Chains A and B, each alone.
Chain A
Amino acid sequence: MKPQRALTGFTVLDLGIMTAGAATSALLADAGARVIKIESERYPDPFRKWSGAGLTGRGSSAAAFDFTNRNKMGVSLDLKTQRGREAFLKLSKNADLVVENFRRGVLEKLGLGFEELRKQNPRIVLASLSSQGDVGPEAHYKSFGSTLEAMGGLAAITGYAGENPQVSGKSLNFPDQAVSIFAFGAIIAALLAAKRKGQGEHIDISQRELILYMVGEYIAAESVRHGSAVGELCRGNADASGRFQGCFRTAERRWVAITAPNETARNELASICGANSPGDSNSQRDLLAAVTTFVAQSRYEIVAEVFGKAGVSVTRVLAANEVLNNLKNAHWHAIMPGPAGGLVKGVPFLNRISPFCIERPAPKLGEHSDSILAEINEHPSTTSTDLA
């Protein structure tokens, strides 16, 4: 018998594509839910053929797809056909949750909006993840994650001191990743509420608003002090709360990140590097120059040892391949070996009592159509054009 996990017994119909929706559903699968990914030959998840940012194929599908869809089952249904739509609605009768991140209006155009789903299953939860939310004058905007960093306020506070704002870019696309971590918890809140009230719930999550939330203290500060300009808010690697901090190059020409977590450590650092200690912006500049010189003349091990003894945090700036090399040496679960070999995306946190499991590789398109559609008396082999 399989171990029971937090969401064992729940069924999720996953219309999530790319990162935000698909990664959220993957977390639900890790927590024990039976997640059925719905795609079709005509409209597969674009991540199946993704080749950007070094994520080329490593087998029959692109690595981007494998990483974010492991632990799911796959059913092929063309939701634009009457039979495909009807099959989806039949599946929804026995499902607990639908996750989607289509462009706004698509679900309704397919005849699969929340009201339609509720007619089939009054207790169903619909989780919609979108760029700007379901409603509003810009709800129809097309955006990728970095568009929303700009429109949500994060770009305005990211950049070299006094220079242009920056976005995290294609290799990170921060909002798409961050939203899944939040959405997973919000969806469980909706499942709890649905159970308690015995009725369906619709949650509408805006990625732009998530970014706004994650710069909330700047909004609070701006609302009482007013008027920051471009460049004023970009402060490089300076600590958001003013502690001495920065990236410096060692004698080996390697970057290290250095933070003095308190005034005592800052004064010790100044003393080690021969700078004036406390005080005004001049001494801050003096300290920056002194640390730059000291670190440039020292090897990493020396910097780490000497500064560490002074209570100063020193860490190497690692490239992605160096992070992977470290995987052998510690308790990593964010990236882990997958059930079909190779690495896959793991889990962001651990459940000590009933651990998350990654048991199956990402499904081939329609891999489980036969068995799952048989549960609703549909037979894809005889109706393949409409269903898949």
Chain B
Amino acid sequence: MEVSVRICGCDNASNVDLPLSSFTVVEVCTASSSLPQRIAVAMAGKIARDLGAHVFAVYGPDGDPLGAVTVEPYERSPREAKALSTFLNSGKEAILLSRHEREDCERIADIVTHADALLISTGVAENIALKAPVTVDLAVLPPNISTAVPPSELGLFALSGMLDLVGTASREPLMLGGHQAAYSAGCAAFSAMMTGFAEREFQGRDAHLVVDMLNVLMWLNWKALAAAEITPSEIVSREGEDAPWRTVPCADGHVAVVYNDRDLPQIFDLLADDDGLPGGQAYLKSRATDSRHDLMEAIKRWCAPRTRRQITDAAQRRSIPFGPVLLPHELLCDPQLIFRQSFASVVTPGSDAQIPVLPLRWNGKPVHAPLNPTAVSVEAPR
């Protein structure tokens, strides 16, 4: 299939000397790998690819299993599924196995012999797993925990304590949207791989790194776990409407109301700007001292008739860290992201999907490897 990449608004990405361009990375999952493992391995490989590595993804005879995973509400059936695979796997080289076990093992072993790193899900046969100088082994759970069925990403959120933090106490706990558990584990697997490269380059030895998704989520959730150790009587659970940081509705959507105590004078100043509030700053300050709930109510009243732009401008002028809740279609034309050249296009016949590029600039330039190694064209800005 003919595929090309166009880096949006970016005429200099191809000039970046990609830091991993001399590295080869191989992803291998097994038929028994869970979906979160597959996604995490694919994310680690994607970051390596975006940094210039040559990434091979080994698939069964039916091809990339993520190609049948939908992104709802956009894609309603596996036949329509495309976005997840486009995002995670564009630019990688697919290796399809046959159904002949011996032949396949030889083929994988041959590929692995030439690899600098192997990203595998736990369960890949040992005769393959430790053949590369750097092996990153990705598991769902730590070694001495087993469950009848491997936990899903929702289950991992539940076991890490993260699920108990979002939502309202009287309702069900709420997970973060998308694949945050698997993507976080994928970022950890990428960093584990880089640790292995450092071992090899700086200490002259091979490396075997192990990532389990539950430990990654617990690491992310350290604040709640630390608080539970230090002040066990004040464990924070789903605070819902009483949460100090939350979103509130406004004239054209929602804004994130986020602040610390030292921002309060600026917030009082912001709210006193509204003629409808009696007594200005002094009133607000006295009420806020009594109740954070009252302050949040005042913020909600202030936000309700205003647009996200008006709220963000007024808040940021006062160094208050409020920000607009942006939808995917708004992100695609966001001035900051366009300025930073944060998107690339993956062009296939009949489709022109845009995906985010790596969240960093290297010596002032965006970093982007070709999204397909066989047919690439980098065009001028649109």
Say yes or no: A242 contacts B70, CB within 8 Å.
Answer: yes
Q: CA A216 – CA B221 in complex, angstroms?
A: 23
Give A246 to B72 CA distance when docked, in angstroms. Answer: 15
Which residues of the other chain, B, contact A243 by a CB distance below 8 angstroms?
A: 152
Stretch at the interface among B55-63, B93-101, B178-186: B178-186
B34, CB-defined interface residue at 8 Å: yes
| Chain A residues, CB < 8 A from B180 | 154, 174, 178, 214
Check if B87 is an interface residue, CB within 8 A of chain A: yes
Q: Are B166 and A172 in contact (CB under 8 A)?
A: yes
Most interface-central of A168, A241, A312, A335 (chain B CB within 10 A): A241
Residues of B close to A210: CB separation below 8 A: 359
Find chain A residues with CB under 8 A from B337 CB: 209, 212
**Across the two chains, which residue of chain B brings its CB closest to A134?**
B361
Chain B: CB-nearest residue to A31: B195
When A and B form their complex, what is the total count of cross-chain residue pairs whose Cβ atoms lie within 8 Å?
556
Chain B contacts for A249, CB-based, 8 A: 172
Q: Does A109 contact B (CB under 8 A)?
A: no
Q: Is A345 an interface residue (CB 8 A)?
A: yes
* Min C-beta distance of B283 to chain A, whole Å: 25
Judge whether B247 and A6 touch: CB under 8 Å. no
Q: Which of B16-66 contact A (CB under 8 A)?
A: 17, 19-20, 34-35, 47, 51
Q: Count A-side interface residues using an 8 Å CB cutoff.
A: 160
Task: Report the minimum CB–CB distance from A178 to chain B (whole Å).
Answer: 6
Among B73, B183, B194, B222, the one with the most A-chain Cβ atoms within 10 Å of its Cβ is B222
Would you call A320 and B207 a contact (CB within 8 A)? no
Contact B336 A138 (CB under 8 A): yes
A205 vs B75: C-alpha distance when bound (angstroms): 31
Q: Identify A146's interface contact among B158, B177, B258, CB under 8 A.
A: B258
Residues 219-268 of A contacting B (Cβ, < 8 Å)? 219-230, 232-243, 245-249, 255-257, 259, 261, 265
Known contacts A188-B197, A261-B34, A349-B215; A53/B223 CB under 8 A = yes
Q: How far is the CB of B299 from chain A (nearest CB, A)?
A: 14
Q: Which residues of A are found within 8 Å of B243, using beta-carbon distances?
A: 169-170
Q: Is the interface of B mostly helix, strand, loop or mixed?
A: mixed
Answer whether residue A351 sits at the interface, using C-beta atoms and an 8 A cutoff: yes
Known: A228-B74, A236-B172. A192 touches B198 (CB 8 A): yes
Given contact pairs A154-B180, A182-B187, A350 touches B209 in the complex (Cβ within 8 A): yes
With A259-B152, A323-B161 known to touch, is A197 a contact of B17 (CB < 8 Å)? Answer: yes
Bound-state Cα–Cα, A139 to B316, Å: 11
Evaluate contact between A143 and B144: CB separation under 8 angstroms.
no
- Near A by CB (< 8 A), chain B positions 218-264 give 218-232, 234-237, 239, 243-247, 249, 253-256, 258-260
Contact with B along A169-211 (1 / 0, CB 8 A): 1111110011001101110111111010100011111111110
- B175 / chain A contacts, CB cutoff of 8 Å: 158, 237
Chain A residues, CB < 8 A from B322: 147
**Least Cβ–Cβ distance between B200 and chain A, in angstroms:** 9
CA A111 – CA B307 in complex, angstroms? 39
* B342 contacts chain A at the CB level, 8 A cutoff: yes
Contacts of B195 in A (CB 8 A): 6, 31, 185, 188, 349, 351
A384 lies within 8 A of chain B by Cβ: no
Chain B residue nearest to A317 in the complex (CB): B158
B1 beta carbon closer than 8 Å to chain A: no
- A319 with B244: CB separation less than 8 A: no
A174 CA / B245 CA spacing, docked (Å): 12
The answer to whether A141 touches B323, judged by C-beta atoms less than 8 angstroms apart, is yes
- In the docked arrangement, what's the CA distance between A152 and B180, Å? 13
Cα A63 to Cα B225 with chains together (Å):
11
Q: Flag if B321 contacts A308 (CB, 8 Å).
A: no
* Stretch of B104-112, B270-278, B324-332 contacting A (4+ beta carbons < 8 Å): B324-332
Q: Which listed residue, B217, B231, B319, B332, touches A54 by the CB 8 Å rule?
A: B231
From A314, A329, A334, give the contact of B216 (CB < 8 A): A334
Q: Is B191 an interface residue (CB 8 A)?
A: yes
Question: Are the CB atoms of B177 and A234 closer together than 8 Å?
Answer: yes
Complex CA–CA separation, A71 to B216 (angstroms) = 20
A291 sits at the interface (CB 8 A): no
A173 CA to B258 CA, complexed, in Å: 10
CB of B364 within 8 Å of the partner chain: yes
Cross-chain contact B198 with A321 (CB below 8 angstroms): no
A sample of 15 more A-B contacts (CB under 8 A), given A205-B360, A321-B232, A332-B215, is A141-B323, A150-B324, A156-B327, A172-B162, A177-B220, A184-B194, A202-B363, A218-B71, A240-B177, A255-B158, A315-B158, A319-B235, A334-B222, A349-B212, A350-B209
Chain A residues within an 8 Å CB radius of B51: 186, 189
Known: A136-B340, A155-B256, A197-B17. A237 touches B174 (CB 8 A): yes
Per-residue interface assignment for chain B, residues 324 to 363, with 1 indicating a CB less than 8 Å from any chain A CB and 0 otherwise: 1111110110011101101100100001111111111111
A142 on the interface (CB 8 Å rule)?
yes
In the bound complex, how far is the Cα of B181 from the Cα of A181, in angstroms?
13
Interface string of A295-313 (1 = CB under 8 A from B): 0000000001000110111
Residue A331 is within 8 A (CB to CB) of chain B in the complex: yes
B327/A229 in contact, CB under 8 A:
yes
Looking at A159-167, A270-278, A370-378, the stretch in contact with chain B turns out to be: A159-167
Contact check, A203 vs B223: say whether CB atoms are below 8 A apart: no
Given the contacts A230-B253, A350-B210, A167 and B158 also touching, CB distance less than 8 Å: no
Classify chain B: how many residues form its interface, as a range.
35 or more
Q: Pick the contact of B225 from A153, A222, A324 — CB < 8 Å?
A: A324
B87 A217 Cβ-Cβ under 8 A? yes
CB <8 Å contact, B245 and A170: yes
Which of A312-370 touch B at CB < 8 Å? Answer: 312-324, 326, 329-335, 342-343, 345-354
B208 adjacent to chain A (CB < 8 Å)? yes
In contact, B143 and A331 (Cβ under 8 angstroms)? yes
Closest to B192 in A: A349
Q: Is A135 an interface residue (CB 8 A)?
A: yes
Residue in chain B with minimal CB distance to A158: B177
Residue of A nearest to B227 (CB): A54
State whether the Cβ of A107 lies closer than 8 Å to any Cβ in chain B.
no
A–B Cβ pairs within 8 angstroms, 11 of them: A53-B224, A151-B256, A171-B224, A184-B194, A193-B19, A204-B362, A212-B359, A257-B173, A315-B151, A320-B236, A321-B232
Pair A349/B211 contact, Cβ less than 8 Å: yes
Complex-state Cα separation, A173 to B210, whole angstroms: 26
Does A149 touch B at the CB level, under 8 Å? yes
Which residues of chain A are within 8 angstroms of B171 by Cβ–Cβ distance? 160
* A324–B229 touching, CB < 8 Å: yes
**CA separation between A171 and B359, bound complex, in Å?**
24
| Pick from B17, B207, B363: contact of A351, CB under 8 Å | B207
Complex CA–CA separation, A8 to B34 (angstroms): 36
